[in-house]
Amino acid sequence: MFTEIFFLYCAVMITGTGILAITRRNPVHAVLMVLILFFHMAGLYLTLQAEFLAAVQIIVYAGAILVLYLFVLFLVNLREEMEVESLVDSAWIGRIISAGLAMILVSVIPAFVLGEKGSWPVERIRELTHTKALGQEMYTTFILPFEIAGLILLVAVIGGLVLAKKDNTTQTLEG
């Protein structure tokens, strides 16, 4: 009974802080909402008996990724960014698209059945540890998407470094 109540609490808090994170005008407040979301995601993983994922959620996401977000926020000149006009004319277009995507996601939930169609039935996962099952699946079946995600992250890091690099030629001409 406690597990179900805690699961429901975490689900409500994840949804609420996710909505608050994307609706806050102040980027620092949005990052704090994401931090609360990450901690509740770790709690959700604990209710699912996935302790490794909960630890990774806290260490990697709440620790490293959020610090990276804060560094980016402090490097970007927010005064100039706040004066930029909206990229879309109407927010209703985004709301309609979001509602359509939400309806699609809700419509596919009944089709999800754990352990029936996948290569990992529930009994097999229980006899192995969650970490071992996750590693075997990631590095055998899903190795190509895993490598593609790594390549995309590498391109993003290089792009961020290029954008963050100061132009030395203009500084030497002015000085």
CATH number at residue 62: 1.20.120.1200
Does 154 fall in a domain? yes
Domain region containing 168: 118-175
Of 44, 46, 45, 20, which is closest to residue 34 (Cα–Cα)? Answer: 20
Does 11 fall in a domain? yes
> Is pLDDT above 60 for 158?
yes
Cβ atoms of 31 and 38 within 8 Å: the answer is no
For residue 14, the model assigns a pLDDT of 94
Looking at the structure of the chain, the number of domains it has is 2
DSSP class of residue 111 equals G
Q: How confident is the model at residue 146 (pLDDT cuts 50, 70, 90)?
A: confident
Does 92 fall in a domain? no
What are the tens digits of pLDDT across the range 34-91?
A: 999 999 999 998 888 888 888 888 888 888 888 888 777 777 766 655 554 666 677 7
Cβ atoms of 34 and 20 within 8 Å: the answer is no
How many Cα atoms within 13 Å fall on the side-chain side of residue 23?
A: 7
Of 62, 78, 94, the residue that ends a domain is: 78
Does 7 fall in a domain? yes
Does 6 fall in a domain? yes
For residue 128, the model assigns a pLDDT of 67
Does 29 fall in a domain? yes
